[in-house]
């Protein structure tokens, strides 16, 4: 599924993965081919790429071909993430696949390019990776047969994907990673180092143990990292034209702050926050409708006979329709979604906003408390909905099977297939392993059934998507018990079958444990970086394109 339905920990070793590599491998490496303009960004001589060593430690090294591969892989991962979230607004981030990385300006910077950004990240991640590889070697820690199979499968997937899109492997690599000089062997060697480093880091992390006293002490010392608050907020902004005079600006600012004080007073005196803001937003929207209606009336009065006879909707008519629609869409439910926020702060935040200081004071604001915070040209009204708290609910262990709608003729056929899978499971051994095995059993040449395996310590999703909320509500219902099974549909995507396996630790405790492991792992990695120095060839890296 494309949507993130649950918040998980350790499902794919993401915490350690990020700490060690800060980049993603595996199936993501295929993304570049799927979205790139299939034109190599320029071929570098194979010999040059392989005779220059970019970085090395005592027993491991990375040549320029491998460094270039990682640089473009990092770029592809950025591109994928931003594309999924911002789509057609990619250019605002400086991303333009028609240009070399060195000419794509990072977030509009005049001095930093996406090449600079990606090279810097690769250097940092490789310093950690090589140091961890050395530490793993010293400890006698090696890749397993399963690890090597995963690497072989990844390389085979690259070859298969290239073939299915009528490209040679070298052309596919060039399109995704910048040069035909990068070989399958280069990619395989990088994967071996990355997985070795990641698995060793995971072994380190799994080996840390903490007493209840240590956990309580860490929590007390870093409490702000693990508590949050739910609150309403609404900002009243000064409204003036771009060419307004100083006097007009000041009048608009005063009007905005006076209105905010008026709204705040009503709420402070007991009026419902959502109701007050809904009424005010309707007032503003009604004024926009009236202004649009007047503009339309004026336009009609001054229109030519030809314009009056035209069936084409005028700009004024469109503006009026938009204003009316905006007014109709204002409901207490929609406003509540807009103004309700869950706030977090951290122990390490150097400066907190006035609102954060109020919410997370030693004696925090209580439920229902209000506050008005002014700035240069606006004022924001706050009301505490749920005072500073930590997540006491229990995490859960689940398993998931996914079906893609594109594999079926219609939704009914997909649901019938899901029912068939569920009936099979209910008629046999109701274990997690048996559930996962259904993916292989019901996979065909035309139908893909994906198993996510055991997903431990799953947290509640914070998504506001109604489909995901439905999944969240079912998974974390007080009625949920081990062995429960249900599928949920996702519009235009497919469906997911969920198997509830067991209840886990409290969410706040999982967060504290994770933070402690992350900190200890970071300390170990830093010690390995000192013990196993990595040499950087600046001249070689400067040739990366």
Question: Once rounded to an integer, what is the mean pLDDT over residues 48-53?
Answer: 88
503 or 169, higher pLDDT: 503
Three-state SS letters, 441-461: HCCCCCCCEEECCCEEEEECC
Q: What percent of the chain has pLDDT over 90?
A: 68
Could you read off the pLDDT of 168-208 as tens digits, one per residue? 888 888 888 888 889 999 999 999 999 999 999 999 999 99
What per-residue confidence (pLDDT) applies to 350?
Answer: 64
> 502 φ, ψ to 5°?
-165, 165
> 48 φ, ψ to 5°?
-60, -40
CA distance 298 to 461: 50
What per-residue confidence (pLDDT) applies to 460?
Answer: 93
Q: Does 33 have pLDDT greater than 60?
A: no
Could you read off the pLDDT of 207-218 as tens digits, one per residue? 999 999 999 999
Could you read off the pLDDT of 477-495 as tens digits, one per residue? 999 999 999 999 998 899 9
> 460 φ, ψ to 5°?
-65, 140
Q: Does 102 have pLDDT greater than 70?
A: yes
Confidence of residue 309 (pLDDT cuts 50, 70, 90): low
Question: Once rounded to an integer, what is the mean pLDDT over residues 8-20?
Answer: 42
Return the closest-CA partner of residue 104 out of 66, 64, 74, 125. Answer: 74
**Comparing 164-168, 192-196, 273-277, which segment has the lowest mean pLDDT?**
164-168
What per-residue confidence (pLDDT) applies to 12?
Answer: 38
Tokens encoding 527: 């010690």
Instruction: List all residues 6 or more positions away from 133 whose beta carbon is below 8 Å from its beta carbon.
Output: 57, 59, 60, 193, 196, 197, 200
Q: Does 26 have pLDDT greater than 70?
A: no
Q: Are 536 and 140 in contact (CB under 8 A)?
A: no
Q: Does 44 have pLDDT greater than 80?
A: no
> 145 φ, ψ to 5°?
-60, -40
What per-residue confidence (pLDDT) applies to 23?
Answer: 38
Could you read off the pLDDT of 407-438 as tens digits, one per residue? 999 999 999 999 999 999 999 999 999 999 99
CA distance 288 to 299: 16
Q: Does 3 have pLDDT greater than 60?
A: no
What per-residue confidence (pLDDT) applies to 158?
Answer: 87
Global confidence as pTM = 0.79
In our burial notation (b when 16+ CB lie closer than 10 A, e otherwise), range 75-98 reads bbbbbbeebeeeeeeeeebbbebe
What per-residue confidence (pLDDT) applies to 473?
Answer: 95
Q: Does 256 have pLDDT greater than 80?
A: yes
Average pLDDT, the chain: 88
Confidence of residue 349 (pLDDT cuts 50, 70, 90): low
* Greatest Cα pair distance in the chain: 89
Could you read off the pLDDT of 357-402 as tens digits, one per residue? 999 988 889 999 999 999 999 999 999 999 999 999 999 999 999 9
Alpha-carbon Rg for the chain, nearest whole angstrom, is 28
Q: Does 4 have pLDDT greater than 90?
A: no
Q: Are 178 and 192 in contact (CB under 8 A)?
A: no
What per-residue confidence (pLDDT) applies to 6?
Answer: 60
Q: Does 40 have pLDDT greater than 50?
A: no
What per-residue confidence (pLDDT) applies to 308?
Answer: 65
User: Ramachandran region of residue 153, left (φ > 0), alpha (ψ -120 to 50) or beta?
Assistant: alpha
What per-residue confidence (pLDDT) applies to 358?
Answer: 93
84 or 274, higher pLDDT: 274
Tokens encoding 210: 């903490």
Confidence of residue 45 (pLDDT cuts 50, 70, 90): low
CA end-to-end distance (rounded Å), the chain: 34
| Paired strand residues for 499 | 399, 485
In our burial notation (b when 16+ CB lie closer than 10 A, e otherwise), range 451-472 reads bbebbbbbbbbebeeebbeebb
Could you read off the pLDDT of 65-85 as tens digits, one per residue? 999 999 999 998 888 888 877
Question: Once rounded to an integer, what is the mean pLDDT over residues 491-504?
Answer: 94
């Amino acid at each position: 599924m494309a949507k993130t339905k649950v918040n998980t920990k350790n499902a794919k070793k993401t915490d350690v993965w990020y700490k060690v590599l800060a980049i993603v491998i595996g199936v993501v490496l295929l993304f570049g081919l799927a979205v790139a303009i299939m034109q190599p960004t320029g071929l570098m001589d194979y010999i040059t790429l392989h005779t220059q060593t970019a970085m090395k430690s005592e027993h491991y090294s990375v040549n320029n071909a491998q460094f270039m591969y990682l640089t473009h892989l990092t770029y592809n991962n950025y591109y994928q993430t931003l594309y999924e979230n911002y789509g057609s607004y990619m250019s605002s981030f400086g991303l333009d696949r028609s240009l070399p990385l060195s000419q794509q300006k990072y977030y509009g910077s005049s001095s930093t390019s996406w090449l600079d950004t990606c090279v810097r990240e690769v250097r940092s991640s490789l310093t950690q990776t090589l140091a961890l590889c050395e530490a793993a070697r010293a400890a006698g820690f090696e890749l397993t047969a399963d690890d090597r199979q995963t690497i072989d499968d990844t390389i085979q997937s690259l070859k298969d994907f290239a073939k299915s899109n009528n490209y040679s492997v070298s052309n596919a690599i060039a399109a995704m990673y910048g040069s035909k000089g990068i070989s399958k062997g280069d990619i395989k060697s990088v994967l071996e180092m990355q997985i070795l480093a990641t698995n060793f880091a995971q072994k380190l992390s799994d080996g840390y143990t903490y007493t209840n006293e240590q956990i309580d002490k860490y929590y007390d010392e870093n409490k702000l990292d693990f508590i949050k608050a739910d609150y309403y907020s609404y900002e009243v902004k000064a409204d003036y034209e771009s060419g307004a005079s100083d006097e007009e600006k000041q009048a608009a600012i005063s009007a905005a702050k006076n209105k905010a004080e008026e709204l705040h007073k009503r709420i402070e005196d007991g009026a419902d926050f959502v109701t007050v803001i809904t009424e005010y937003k309707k007032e503003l929207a009604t004024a926009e409708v009236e202004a649009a209606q007047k503009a339309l009336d004026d336009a009609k009065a001054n229109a030519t006979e030809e314009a009056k006879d035209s069936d084409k909707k005028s700009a004024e008519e469109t503006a009026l329709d938009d204003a009316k629609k905006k007014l109709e869409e204002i409901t207490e439910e929609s406003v509540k979604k807009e103004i309700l926020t869950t706030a977090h702060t951290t122990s390490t935040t150097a400066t907190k906003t006035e609102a954060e200081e109020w919410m997370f004071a030693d004696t925090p604001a209580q439920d229902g408390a209000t506050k008005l915070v002014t700035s240069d040209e606006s004022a924001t009204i706050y009301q505490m909905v749920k005072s500073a708290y930590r997540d006491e609910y229990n995490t859960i262990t689940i398993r998931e099977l996914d079906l893609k709608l594109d594999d079926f003729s219609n939704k009914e056929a997909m649901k019938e297939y899901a029912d068939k899978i569920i009936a099979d499971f209910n008629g046999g051994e109701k274990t997690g392993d048996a559930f996962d095995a259904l993916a292989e059993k019901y996979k065909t040449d035309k139908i893909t059934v994906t198993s996510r395996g055991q997903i431990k310590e799953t947290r509640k999703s914070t998504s506001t998507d109604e489909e995901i909320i439905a999944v969240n509500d079912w998974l974390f219902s007080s009625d949920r018990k081990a062995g429960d099974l249900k599928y949920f549909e996702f519009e235009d995507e497919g469906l997911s079958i969920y198997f509830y396996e067991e209840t886990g630790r409290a969410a706040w405790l999982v967060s504290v444990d994770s933070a402690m492991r992350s900190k200890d792992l970071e300390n170990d990695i830093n010690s390995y970086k000192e013990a196993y120095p990595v040499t950087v060839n600046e001249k070689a890296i400067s040739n990366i394109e």
